[in-house]
A and B are shown apart, each in its own frame.
Chain A
């Protein structure tokens, strides 16, 4: 059914998507060939391979990258799937962790966000792969990316290390002005600390 697309095919489709990007409405659709294959996503490790600077996750793009209609669809899903009551308005965090800051337990690259939504995570995040088709999960990812916290890990590391803080000292790339709740949800992931740090 699904075949791993070649890099060339990916580029071609991305170029196509850039040309035909819808500008409004909530009917965004992409060429199915642009949707990363399941096998490709399965190959994204949860942590970082030893000694490697870049994650394979960074090489997989969201087929809806920059698609305003998809972001709107994702925002609607974020509400209708009850995500908002756990992760807060605009992903600011509540029961679940904040999704609009740069700290991610399981990686903030689009493919990593996809996998977290698809597979669920141990501290209560449901596995939505059983309920939502891939294109809807990618729209959710597009919405999360629009919140500003998601960046490919390599980029994020550079930005976090080089951007002077305007709010005070940073610890592990995390501004101290983050709410206590956000600080908690990161700290409590002590078991997963290596995975989190590995992506930073």
Chain B
């Protein structure tokens, strides 16, 4: 079960799949656009490793692949016909907490895990109307509802080796048998009474389940745990703060910059003992590079949110780790926002891309941070290649190329008892957890971002376990040159420039799907689901849904050979906290919408009712299943 074994296995798999891919990309029936059928050189030349190269019609984990591209090769739905997208069927879970997860599709089954109480559903896609195959209710402890900073959300399950793996709000991870819905194991990773919750989606690498934690607003200490996929037994745990032994910084660690080298920086960059309740929680996304056998993930803001109470850089909060998934050992780490004063978590997704720079193929990661800088880094070393703002910001004037540290604007530093006005971005950043997508067909990153600024007053706080360790008094307003809360952008990760953008009146917080049909999909918090031409930024299709969208879109190939696009409308999370009181903000919901060309699905076929006996003499609607 060593790392070498994992690496070797994946190398073999990669070679096999590369050969497969060479035989021809997925050839779904009725690909109608001759343009999209041709492989195209990306605009930037950037590509990605799509390991583990799942079947093209499936979506087995939230990011679809280890590289976190959220790119599907499916192209039945493309720029020429997307205007024909219509609702094929819907599914409601009647849960009013914020929905942030994408459904998964494996074989003929769709899997959903909702917000608290984290009920899991399997739907049978082979039957009309996709009826429920099984349902599992884990009954997590309701105490967690009042400990989650930003709504009782869940960012979705992952499928691996016939198991559905997901987290529970009350600080647990669990696995179900995906075929039957029977629980296989359930592992507690922290105590909600002390403020720890879990909202993130686990990543499975080989037989290792990687699970982080939430609670950076509650003085929770950040951690990433590795569990055995078969038993749920904990294999290792790496903390984000504290002595090197706890952070798993050892001989194999190479600091990308000199200021990040030194013994026990995770404790010495804090006031004595403060690291023990110092945040740096792990509630975002994990990427994996099978060739380097390294995982990448970010850490949250430090606790308390009031910087005056924690002089120092506060490592390794608001940072990124590269670790060996078999041991947890850190290979490198980098801090985006030293001594964070504004709640700029570093948890946003890291998209692994490969691109030619100066005649060499570089192994890169792209990270659009909450602090407003778009970082393109060398994922072997952690050194910055490009760092440019992707939104209008004023807390820093740039990134020092010699150190990678932001050049902070002293006028926008937080002050105790004094209001500092118009800090951009606001506490949730120029972009929050909502994951961007990468298309190898354009070589661009697509992201839904914010243009929100804040007036900030800090107050000193005391640590009381299980209560917020916070101290930020925030008033938000739209800002930036658009003065609009949301925006959808195409980003060139090699130059650090926008290619095009679509301003939105309401926050955009859905995450993004990119497809082989040269489409990118995103949703708005006022309920518009849109398809955009990935090359031009032209909106080709929009559909208003029953609630705002804070959940991630996905696409799959049904058992009938058709391409479907799916997204849940169930607004919530931090979007409802920031914008919920604004005029026009939609009510909550929890409805999955599944779209296809002309709305066709097995259930919609003409004559379906006749086949069920409705048209026959004495017939009735709906045969018992």
Contact = CB atoms under 8 A, between A and B. Distances in A.
Interface string B391-411: 000000000000000000000
B333 interface: no
A160 interface: no
Interface stretch (A40-48, A50-58, A146-154, A177-185): A177-185
Interface residues of A, number: 25
Given A95-B149, A96-B146, A184 B572 contact: yes
A184 B153 CA distance: 13
Interface in A79-108: 79-83, 85-86, 89, 94-96
A164 interface: no
Given A81-B464, A81-B467, A124 B473 contact: no
B147 to A, nearest CB: 5
A113 B572 CA distance: 28
Given A85-B468, A179-B580, A180-B576, A95 B585 contact: no
Interface residues of B, number: 34
B149 A184 contact: no
Interface string B459-482: 101101011111101000000000
Contacts of B473: 89
Contact of B585 (A82, A124, A180): A180
A188 B143 CA distance: 13
A119 interface: no
B554 interface: no
A181 B145 contact: no
Contacts, number: 76
Contacts of B461: 82, 85
B467 A122 contact: no
A95 B464 CA distance: 16
Nearest to B469: A82
Contacts of A82: 461-462, 464, 467-470
Contacts of A89: 473
Contact of B146 (A80, A95, A183): A95
Contact of A181 (B147, B192, B470, B576): B576
Interface of B: 96-97, 142-150, 152, 192, 217, 459, 461-462, 464, 466-471, 473, 571-572, 576-577, 580-581, 585, 587-588
A180 B588 contact: yes
Contact of B217 (A85, A125, A179): A85
B468 A95 contact: yes
A184 B471 CA distance: 25
A11 B192 CA distance: 44
A181 B468 contact: no
Given A85-B468, A180-B588, A183-B587, A79 B459 contact: yes
B522 to A, nearest CB: 21
Contacts of B577: 94, 181
